[in-house]
Structure 1
Amino acid sequence: MRPTSTRAAVLREFRAPLEVTELPLPQELPAGSALVRISCTTLCGTDAGLWRGALPFVRLPIVLGHEMVGTVVALGAGAGSDAVGRPVAVGSRVVWSESVCGRCRACTVLREPVLCEHRGYGFGQRADRWPYAVGGLAEYAYLPPGAHRLVVAPEVPDTWAASAGCAVKTVVRAFANAGGVRPGAAVVVQGAGPLGLVATAYARVAGAGRVITLGGPAHRLAVAAAFGADHVIDVTAVTDPDERVAQVEELTEARGADLVLDFAGGPTANREGVLMCAPRGTHVVVGLAGAQAAAVPLDVVLMREVRVVGSLNGDVSDLFLGLRFLSACAGRFEWDALFSPPVGLSGAGRAISETASMAAVQAVVDPGLD
């Protein structure tokens, strides 16, 4: 029998404990939609930022969590295949993208659904309005018609599949927007969270000659080294942004980096990133610098002909490639090093706290554990 409600951990007040409560589930599934039982949700820095209230346009209450994997329990009409044509049925294990409209200029003319004017981020949809449960910190989630889904191969663990839904696909798109990695290039990764660590591995696999990862704390930098970083810079020890730039200059024999990717955000990240670039280097902006962002030195952009590129999340194509990347490199990198032991919904608040404090790289919530 199809469930009529779901337990969910709801954020009703910024920085407050999550409330585990019951939310209604849609009883009539529109064409193209689905209902999924969540088997795993992984948390990233955006979830911690949302909990803190760092994105002021978000309206509460919401169900946090936008990296999840689950098993289909019900399908709307016409929802019997995934984004690459594989059959989807009740019992299929799937991941999915944010919903897109398929009709706006970004979807049709630009063919860039990641820029859809009506893109349905889970954290942009309130938990007190239909369809109520779209976030990952719940037993069940509603997949809108425009949320393209992919069937997950049996050998891919739940944690890997869930993380692909944001962290991995965002990295894939960032490298694509940068134009890839030239063989032997010097690559700087700003940030040692889930995105920065995956990016470190991606840069190594893509043929970088030298990979430098900046971030912290120490246990995350240890993972960065295991994922292929030739050098790590602990930003909790090297607190002066100009000193970090100087260290990158020294590590690149005064040439600078060919590619710098900001997965950290933070007020000085983009200024540092541009200053770390070699002549004709590329700086990719993924992290949110915030209202107190330091000015980007446009004279350096001009005189070095630095290319500054924005990269926003990822779409279903990046999700597909992200899953393939994780599987292809399963024997090369210990992906499980990214994930903390799972907790149930009752522990979701603690998981958010550990994400915010950076005690966890990726906290994991398995609703079935309660």
Structure 2
Amino acid sequence: MRPRVTTAAVLREFNAPLEIEQVALPADLPPGAALVRVTRTTLCGTDAHLWQGVLPFVGLPLVLGHEMVGEVVALGQSAERDALGRPIGIGTRVVWSESVCGNCYGCTVLREPVLCADRGYGFRQRADKWPFVIGGLSQYTYLPPGAHRLVVPDDIPDTWAAAAGCAVKTVLRAFTNAGGVRPESTVVIQGAGPLGLVGTAVARAAGAGRVITIGGPANRLAIAKAYGADVTISIEETSDPDERVAVVEELTEARGAELVFDFAGSPSANREGVLMCGQRGKHVVVGLAGPQAMPVPMDVVMGREIQVIGSLNGDVSDLDRSLRFLTAFRHRFDWDAMFGTPVGLGGADRAIRDMASQVAVKAVIDPALDLEEITG
């Protein structure tokens, strides 16, 4: 029988505890839609930022979580195939991208779904308005018609598949937008969160000659070293942005880096990133620096002919590549090192707080773990 309600961890007030509630699910599924039982959700920095109210225009109440994997429990008409044409049925394990309209300039003329004018980001969905839940901190979630889905191969663990839905696909798209890595080049990774750690691994796998990862705290930098960073720069030990620029300058014999990726989104990241670039270098902006961002020295951009490239999330093609990337390098990189021990929905509030304080690298939620205790 199709579920009509779901147990979910609901954000009703910024910086306040998540509340375990029963939330409605759509009574009817339009063509192309599906309902999914969430088997694993991984949290990222954006979830913590949303919880903190960094995006105050977000409407509450809200079910957080945008990296998830699950098993199909109900299908609307014409929803029986994934983006690669593979069959989907009840019980099929799937991941999916944010929904897109398919009709706007970004979707049709540019053919870039990430630039869709009506992209279905999770923070746009209030939990008190139809379809109520598209987030992952829930027993069940709604998969919109325009969300391209992929069947998950049997040999990919739930946690990896969930993380592919944002952290991994965002990084792979950024490297694609940068034009790839030139062999033996120097790549600087700003940030040692999940994106920065995956970025470190991608840079190493792509043949970079030197990988420099900047961030903290120490446990994250240790994973960066294991993922291939030749040098790590602690923002706790080297707290002055100009000193960090000087370290990169010294490491590159004053030539600067060929590629600098901002996976940090800190106020000084873009200024630092440009200054770390060598002549004809590229600075790829993925993080959101916010209203306190330091000015970028445009004279340096011009004088060194630096390219500043924006990169936004990823689409279903990046998601497909993410699943294949995680599988291809499973014996080279210990992906599980990023993930915490799974907790149930009752532990979701603590998990969000641990992400906000950087105690956790990547918190993991299994909605089924404490479901009987919660619903009692």
TM-score category, normalised to shorter length: over 0.9
Residues 315-347 of structure 1: CA deviation (Å, up to 9, x unaligned)? 000000011100000000000001000000000
**Aligned ranges 1:1-370 → 2 under 5 Å:** 1-370=1-370
SS across alignment from 2:368 = helix
Residue of structure 1 equivalent to 2:374: none
SS across alignment from 1:367 = coil
Q: How far does residue 254 in structure 1 lie from its aligned partner after superposition?
A: 1.1
Residues 224-266 of structure 1: CA deviation (Å, up to 9, x unaligned)? 0000000000001111000000001111111110000000001
Q: Distance in 2 between matches of 1:95 and 1:217?
A: 31
SS across alignment from 1:2 = coil
Residues 135-192 of structure 1: CA deviation (Å, up to 9, x unaligned)? 0000000000000000000110001000000000000100001011011110000000
Q: How far does residue 55 in structure 1 lie from its aligned partner after superposition?
A: 1.2
Give, as a single letter, the amino acid of the residue that structure 2 aligns with 1:310.
Answer: G
SS across alignment from 2:213 = strand
Give, as a single letter, the amino acid of the residue that structure 1 aligns with 2:334.
Answer: E
Q: Distance in 2 between matches of 1:256 and 1:86?
A: 46
Q: Distance in 2 between matches of 1:86 and 1:123?
A: 29
Q: How far does residue 56 in structure 1 lie from its aligned partner after superposition?
A: 2.2
Between the two proteins, what is the percent identity of the paired residues? 71
Q: Which runs of 4+ in 1 moved over 2 A?
A: none
Give the structure-2-normalised TM-score: 0.98
Q: How far does residue 58 in structure 1 lie from its aligned partner after superposition?
A: 1.1
* Structure 1: unaligned runs, 5 residues or longer: none
Q: How far does residue 15 in structure 1 lie from its aligned partner after superposition?
A: 0.1
Q: Distance in 1 between matches of 2:153 and 2:143?
A: 20
What is the RMSD of the two structures over their aligned residues, measured on CA atoms? 0.5
Residues 242-293 of structure 1: CA deviation (Å, up to 9, x unaligned)? 0000001111111110000000001100000000000000000000001000
SS across alignment from 1:308 = strand
Count of paired positions? 370
Q: Distance in 2 between matches of 1:59 and 1:260?
A: 34
Residues 65-116 of structure 1: CA deviation (Å, up to 9, x unaligned)? 0000000000000000001111111010000000000000100000000000
Give the structure-1-normalised TM-score: 1.00
Q: Distance in 1 between matches of 2:238 and 2:60?
A: 37
